[in-house]
Amino acid sequence: MEHDLIIRGGTVVDGSGGPRRAADLAVGGGRIAAVGDLGGAAAREEIDAAGLVVAPGFIDAHTHDDQAVFADPAMTPKVSQGVTTVIAGNCGLSLAPRSYPGVGAPPSALLGTPAEYRFPTVAGYRAALEESPAALNLALLVGHSTLRIDAMDNDIDRPATAAEIAAMADKLDESLAAGAIGLSTGLAYPVAKAAPTDEVVALAQRLPAHGGIYTTHMRDEGAAVLDSIAETAEIGRRSGARVVISHHKCAGEANWGRSVETLAAIEAARETLELDFDVYPYTASSTVLLPDWAPQARRILVTWSDPHPEMAGRELAAIAADWGCDRDAAIRRLMPAGAIYFTIDEGDLRRILAHRRAMVGSDGIPGDRHPHPRLWGTFPRVLGRYVREAELLTLEEAVFRMTGLTAQVFGLAGRGVLAPGNHADLTLFDPATVLDEADFDHPKRPARGIHSVWVAGQAVWRDSTATGARPGRFLARGEGRG
């Protein structure tokens, strides 16, 4: 029998968390055909993987790629890292479903312009992506803030009324039926801040019937982070939905070291609840520039500014000095704008990243002019700096938390583990050299050591270049192996 592709002589790290082994891997018809000693088999294409690791394509647990898959279907920032699937629609923001034509409250601009919010339904979003696929797969969460803007006509500084909640819940039901995998919130943001816990519970209660998941950028990641974990667990318990805490961190110097407490609280909640979290491997966060968040940060870098695009990549303090004003005044002149906030302790980051349930998610913001380097560097950074150099976790464990665990948590059937019959989403990398090259000064550099990447058996990254192939799919919830 002739396969499409055989990757020979590599070290297979299969995404289950189990030990690496020397094995060949064969692909046929977009699926994994066999894993083992394939000395007797032939293929149209053979790759010598001596010294390289064969792993499942990485699943980016936390992205804002809803619009990027249309704007840049090659998805170079992600496939260059070995990513083959992204979870989009995070932090309460999704490109669909939205009909509101105006400028939504912050941080709506993080995802796109009003014209880019062009999908009144998830079914329409899905059809557009199926019509014009990207290099990688995408699964979509429905954003609570997106629902709010529509249902409340962007009048969002108050709790939603019962009628508005009912309208949002119906939209959510319709979206889940069209293939969305769950609901996300961003309760820290102006657009959703005024939503009480009960509003979120009423929506999350629609999730279990569809097997949907609840993900959350919590109300507070600083002084009140424990209250936020309690609120998140309450939403999980009262709704019956599975929960993911997004980009877990302890923000602000006054809270450094508190990941000891937060991880203990998460462990305690896990006794009665399916609750997991994702994390990015950096000590700076990034989102819209807002005066409220500036005091938490030692240093702030501007990532984009509508009135002052020339300030992208510069330090807020330097801009304020140039302008002869204080930081607050400078922020107001730069807005609407985006920023990188240096607010996280390396010790907390390591403690969180080392946790056995920590999924890796980039939280990259693809539209930013001078983005946070996590957009291009997250996965190779974990493999290079935290696995190889710091030995914070084993290679098998890291790959599991980039693949098998994430597929399990988000219900992505037939992905995340190298096993016959599963989709041939694969990453081939050099464990001795893999490393992020993007940094805060040069955020758009592709990583080193990612040899080749396949989606459904088609190469999307090879010889340090995107191939232009676009085999990606919209991954609908509960789709099975079809």
Q: CB nearer to Cu ion: give 49 or 251.
A: 251
The answer to the question of residue 273 lying near Cu ion (CB under 5 A) is: no
How far CA 394 is from CA of 347, 404, 409, in Å, comes to 18, 15, 21
The answer to the question of residue 63 lying near Cu ion (CB under 5 A) is: no
The answer to the question of residue 66 lying near Cu ion (CB under 5 A) is: no
Note whether 191 and 107 are within 8 A (CB). Answer: yes
Q: How far is 427 from 49, CA to CA, in rounded Å?
A: 11
Q: CB nearer to Cu ion: give 55 or 91.
A: 91
363, 368, 396, 437: which one binds Cu ion (CB under 5 A): 363
Residues 6+ apart with CB under 8 A from 378: 60, 81, 280, 281, 282, 360, 361, 362, 364, 436
The nearest distance, CB 64 to Cu ion, in angstroms, is: 6
How far from the centroid of its chain's Cα atoms is residue 418's Cα? 22
The answer to the question of residue 422 lying near Cu ion (CB under 5 A) is: no
Note whether 435 and 81 are within 8 A (CB). Answer: no
DSSP3 helix / strand / coil % (the chain, rounded to 5):
30, 25, 45
The answer to the question of residue 459 lying near Cu ion (CB under 5 A) is: no
Q: What is the CA radius of gyration of the chain?
A: 21
Q: Which of 9, 410, 420 is nearest to 213 (CA)?
A: 410
Note whether 59 and 84 are within 8 A (CB). Answer: yes
Paired sense of beta strands 450-455 and 426-429, if any: antiparallel
The nearest distance, CB 241 to Cu ion, in angstroms, is: 19
The nearest distance, CB 306 to Zn ion, in angstroms, is: 21
The answer to the question of residue 278 lying near Cu ion (CB under 5 A) is: no
Binding interface with Zn ion (CB under 5 A): 91, 217
25, 52, 61, 91: which one binds Cu ion (CB under 5 A): 91
- What letter does residue 135 receive in the DSSP assignment? S
Q: CB nearer to Zn ion: give 5 or 91.
A: 91
The nearest distance, CB 148 to Zn ion, in angstroms, is: 16
Q: CB nearer to Cu ion: give 143 or 404.
A: 143
The nearest distance, CB 93 to Zn ion, in angstroms, is: 9
The answer to the question of residue 7 lying near Cu ion (CB under 5 A) is: no
Total binding residues toward Cu ion, as defined by CB under 5 A: 3
The nearest distance, CB 217 to Cu ion, in angstroms, is: 6
Q: CB nearer to Cu ion: give 16 or 146.
A: 146
Q: CB nearer to Zn ion: give 221 or 345.
A: 221
Residues forming the site for Cu ion (CB under 5 A): 90-91, 363
